[in-house]
Amino acid sequence: MKIAVSSTGKDLDAQVDPRFGRAASFLIVDTETLAFQVVSNSQNLQAAQGAGVQAASLIARMKPAAVLTGHCGPKAFHVLQAAGIPVYTGVSGTVKEAVARFTKGELTPSTTPNAEGHW
């Protein structure tokens, strides 16, 4: 299964980025093999507005089974929800640690966003 993780860097040892819309990048990780693809989010780092929606649209096109992040605002959350992608918020540590917790069933999908817009 492939999942998307907001990341501060470009490898599994990078920290989970607490910001979804303005994350430095996303790692699309295969939970079985830990093979991953880096998806740059540079276009949204300095966006005046709409960073969350644009990032959510980018990730939704990749069709991950889930998104792991620290915080997700309401607009991005609703885009992902509409695409049928569960969002797991409050995630921290390295990407590799987060994927391991997800695989072990230690994370719970969020039912609401956990950040205000324009965080």
Q: What is the pTM of this model?
A: 0.92
State pLDDT tens for residues 104-118. 999 999 999 987 755
DSSP characters over the chain? -EEEEEESSSSTTSBBPSBSTT-SEEEEEETTT--EEEEE-HHHHT-SS-HHHHHHHHHHHH--S-EE-SB--HHHHHHHHHTT--EE-S--SBHHHHHHHHHTT-----SS--S-TT-
State pLDDT tens for residues 5-52. 999 999 999 999 999 998 999 999 999 999 999 999 877 656 555 678
